Amino acid sequence: MRLRRPYLSFDPGLLVTALLPLIGLIPTFGDGIIKTADGPLHVQRIYAMSVLLEHGHLWPRWVSWFHLGYGYPVFNFYPPGVFYLGGLLGLIGVSIPLAFNLVAALAWILGSMGTYALAKRFLPVSGALLAAALWAYAPSRLYEVWDQGSLPQMLAAACVPWIFLGLTLAAQNPSRRSLLALALPTAGMILSHQPITLITGLFIAPAALVLPLAASWRDRRTFARRFACVIGGLALGAGLAAIFLIPLALELKYVQAAAEAPDVIPYLRSNFLQPGQLFIQPPPVDLTDLRYKLPTTLGLAGGILCALGLLALVRTRRWGLLAALVAALAFALLMMVELSLPVWQAVPFMAQLRFPERFLRVAAVFLALGSGASLLLFPRRWQMAGLAGGLILVIAAGLPMAYPSRPFVNWPNLSALDEIRMEETEHTWGSTSYDEFNPVWGEKPGWDPAVEPEEYVNNPLRIVVNRLDMIRQWPDLQVEQVDAATVRVTVTGARPVRFRQFYFPGWTALLDGQPVPIYPEPELGQITVDVPEGTHLIALAYTGTTAQAVGALVTLASIGVAIVLMVYSRNHIGEGLRPSLTERLFHEGEGGTPARAFPPRPAALFALAIVAFTLVNSFIITPHTLLFRRQSPPDQPAAMQTPVNVRFGDTFALLGYTLEQTSTAPGGLLPVTLYWRALQPVDKEYRPVVQLVNLSQTAAWAVSEPLFPGGGKTTTYTPDRFASDVHALRLFPDAPPYVGRISVQMVDSGTGDPLRLPDGSDRLLLPPLIRVTGAGAALPPVLNYRFDDAVELACATIQREGDTLTIDLGWRVLQTPAQDVTVFVHGLGANGQPVEQNDSPPLGLDYPASLWQPGQTLLDHHTLLWDDRIQLIAIGLYTPERRLTVTRDSQPVPDNRVLLALDENSCSR
């Protein structure tokens, strides 16, 4: 049987899917770029790439003005693909911010089209279009655009559906074109973003084996060909990216990223999603809120549609597609919650990804496929109507995240100086968050101010001699800057000359035209050249390493192979092979295939509807209404549950808080959102300190101390806005099963002094009692005295320490006491009369008995002054009205008290 050739004619559905992101794209084009977390960093990298390309560097690796003028190998270790695209646009005159936006738009459109192309391999074209819409307006996609701003992650995520399309084609219909269909997006992803590449690789690895096996189920002889096509496509993709991969693998040991930071695991744990976050409807953005953080979720609409789609696959008996989607989604969901921590720790480099929510970018593809399958619940004649309703639902669910919620930032005359200034103010050394590509040579990181930074405006590639050498050690050293990387030096004696540029393999130096050795000086790892007495010309150049040259050669060879495959790919997809079992299991009907092209008339209607709504949204809804958004009064946040309105000094007011839960387990999370408002313009930085403390405020069981509140640096706060401030308090693993309260402080970032409340206190205790769940430590059931059948004294330990007796009592709670009680501890003499006594509440003031929970075991500490006359210790419980009745083995105990010998040690057994 000969399959139809699906890609010989244009599919109007591709045009519709290319237009789908238009509604969300238009608001992203403003005056510059959206001021996201990563966007400004990537603008600086695009600018660096454009400058280096302009100066003849065909594949730049080192940026000499990064890291305050010390230089940085950012493009050797961070995939440079998107920056290369942006740099090429910069070369032809496109402004760098516009280049950023154009590449982001390309990624959005490319991913939408890829999801459609993948989905229509298994679903009707109506379902494929709905899948594309799900991907285009997935909350993770809009989060990337308006919050994170990671341009490399955007493009890598857009490659994911194309990679799975390539895998499917290579397994089902192995051919040269299928091999290329897998190789090209694989190379694109590798050259875009390492975390998405690593995450996607966890899905590719099993698929690379399972798909060829399933496709050759009825004819094992075809397995080798199918598997070879898959492996060949992946290998060719890696070869195309070898110019980056080989130096990365061989030279990673030269930078700090090779060593795992000590805080990686705690930081990773703090970023796991809670199960309740995985499928939620993002709330409308509050335009008064200074905090722009959008939710990380798969979305409620996608979750519902995917559930319906999985039911439809069961109904239509598409067991292959059903199994694949369930397995992929289950794995993705698992990896986003803390239960998967052992996997993150076991897979090399996984923990360094730090953000489990990255799995949303891959999960969005499988969720989109499942959602597209929901249209299979409709009869064929109603599927287009179902598609129309589905598109309305998906776009409406995404719109709350698709409106401008952040300001734009622009650089009228972008230069290398902008990167240096950003590093000085934001501490984003070398355009990174963790300074992870800092070379390993040198004892200090090199964070001192740049030398004559204004000179970088017109001469970004300048490399200067370390002027401190001239001042401190060799005042007779004379330096003349000949060009960007060449200096003329005059020395009265032989000595080393240090350049303000980190040493790294690939740097070379010429002394008077002759090669000379270079080495790193020990303090900062700066390039150092030994110079003899006299006047000499020193020229530095980054010429690369053997690993970089080999990587470039492998990439060139792979490009040649790809061209040959493209030119000589005469055998079209599927030619010569009968339909595989995979196609029969995955495709529509009894072994048939879905329609391969979207009908032109419905495609035109959908395209016109998208364009029309884009215009209405851009010119009416966005500027003249608050549809899909809200704008709270600055003193009454709409999302705030409980108002408190407490002033912290004359600077801030805590408007209130939102607390979704009042209990958590040791090691668990307790999220609380605070709402701050500046009472006046703020001229210094403050940071919140939020703790879960015991009732006596003598111990903290969880602490959150971010560098600044949720709205960012407090110097940007104004009285006409509020800032929502989210704290995920993670309880210490040894937190006792008591109750506590949330303590809130606002402290001066410079001095650490807290702002005072009107009553003079330095903190506010929020009213709700927070219960730490758990049973407590196991206690040996030795004594078993019962008090009103509510509490049992399981054990006790008495020790003398100098002039003090310490008495530890182990209580087991049978039922919650009706009211608070007091423990009496009496030291009895030989005549049975009290010699010393010390009555106090059990557990002090930290855990009143009326709050105890059945099943808890509590260790209670008391003391008593020592007296030589003490022979026994009497223990009992009483309320203001009476002493609790004591029994043992259902028999009453005299005087309703427990008598303990001084050598009692049952709690230590």
pLDDT tens digit sequence for 864-883: 999 999 999 999 999 999 99
- For 246-301, how does the pLDDT look when each residue is reduced to its tens digit (9 = 90+)? 999 999 999 998 887 777 888 888 889 989 899 999 888 899 999 877 889 999 99
Predicted confidence at residue 578, as pLDDT, reads: 46
Provide the pLDDT confidence category of residue 891 given band limits of 50, 70 and 90: very high
- Model confidence band, residue 221 (pLDDT cutoffs 50, 70, 90): confident
pLDDT at 447: 87
Contact (Cβ atoms closer than 8 angstroms) between residue 793 and residue 785: yes
Q: Could you tell me the pTM of the whole model?
A: 0.89
365-369, 567-571, 591-595: range with lowest mean pLDDT: 591-595
* pLDDT, position 405: 79
Whether residue 588 has pLDDT greater than 70: no
pLDDT at 577 over 70: no
Give the Cα separation of 849 and 816 in Å (integer).
7
Across 61-77, average pLDDT: 95
Which H helix or E strand runs over 468?
Answer: helix 467-472
| DSSP class per residue in 411-422 | -TT--HHHHHHH
Is 905 a residue whose pLDDT tops 80? yes
> Is residue 209 pLDDT above 70, yes or no?
yes
Is pLDDT above 70 for 137? yes
Q: Are 179 and 233 in contact (CB under 8 A)?
A: yes
Residue pair 145/186 in contact (Cβ under 8 Å)? The answer is no
Taking 50 as the threshold, does the pLDDT of residue 6 lie above it? no
470 confidence band (pLDDT: 50, 70, 90): low
At 389 the three-state DSSP class reads helix
- C-alpha 351/C-alpha 373 separation (Å) is 34
Q: Which residue has the higher pLDDT, 266 or 4?
A: 266
In the prediction, which pLDDT does 403 show? 85
Report the relative pairing of strands 834-837 and 486-491 from DSSP bridges. unpaired
How would residue 412 be classed by pLDDT, with cut points 50, 70 and 90? confident
Residue 451's pLDDT band, with cuts at 50, 70 and 90, is confident
Distance of CA 735 to the CA centre of its chain: 27
Nearest Cα to Cα of residue 243 among 559, 565, 506: 559
Report residue 315 as tokens.
């109904």
pLDDT at 468 over 90: no
Helix (H, G, I), strand (E, B) or coil at 56: coil
What is the predicted pLDDT for the residue at 845? 86
| Mean of all residue pLDDT scores within the chain | 91
Say if CB 119 and CB 131 are below 8 A apart: yes
Tell me the pLDDT tens digit for each residue of 479-528: 888 999 999 999 888 889 999 999 999 999 999 999 999 999 998 899 99
| pLDDT above 80 (res 8) | no
Label the pairing between strands 872-878 and 898-901: antiparallel
pLDDT above 70: percentage of residues in the chain = 95
150 Cβ neighbours under 8 A, 6+ residues apart:
37, 38, 42, 144, 193
For 778-815, give one letter per residue: b (16+ CB within 10 A) or e.
ebeeebebbbbebbbbbbbbbeeeeeebebbbbbbbbe
Inform me whether the pLDDT recorded for 573 exceeds 60: no
Q: Say if residue 582's pLDDT is above 60.
A: no
The per-residue pLDDT for range 483-493, each reduced to its tens digit, is 999 999 998 88
Cβ neighbours of residue 464 closer than 8 Å, sequence gap 6 or more = 69, 451, 452, 479, 481, 487, 499, 500
User: Which pLDDT value is given to residue 3?
Assistant: 39
Q: Which residue would you say has higher pLDDT here, 10 or 66?
A: 66
Whether residue 179 has pLDDT greater than 50: yes
Q: For residues 847 and 738, is the Cβ–Cβ distance under 8 A?
A: yes
pLDDT in tens, 621-638: 999 999 999 999 999 999
265, amino acid identity:
I
Amino acid at 651: T
> Taking 80 as the threshold, does the pLDDT of residue 584 lie above it?
no
The pLDDT value given to residue 257: 86
For residue 185, give the nearest of 169, 161, 202, 221 by alpha carbon. 161
Average pLDDT rounded to a whole number, residues 66-75 = 95
Average pLDDT for residues 689-712, to the nearest whole number? 90
Confidence band for 570, pLDDT divided at 50, 70 and 90? low
pLDDT band, very low/low/confident/very high, at 472 (cuts 50, 70, 90): low
pLDDT above 90 covers a percentage of the chain that reads 79
DSSP state of 46: H
- What mean pLDDT is predicted for residues 792-812? 94
Q: What's phi and psi for 863, nearest 5 deg?
A: -135, 160
Check if the beta carbon of residue 200 is closer than 8 Å to that of residue 145. Answer: no
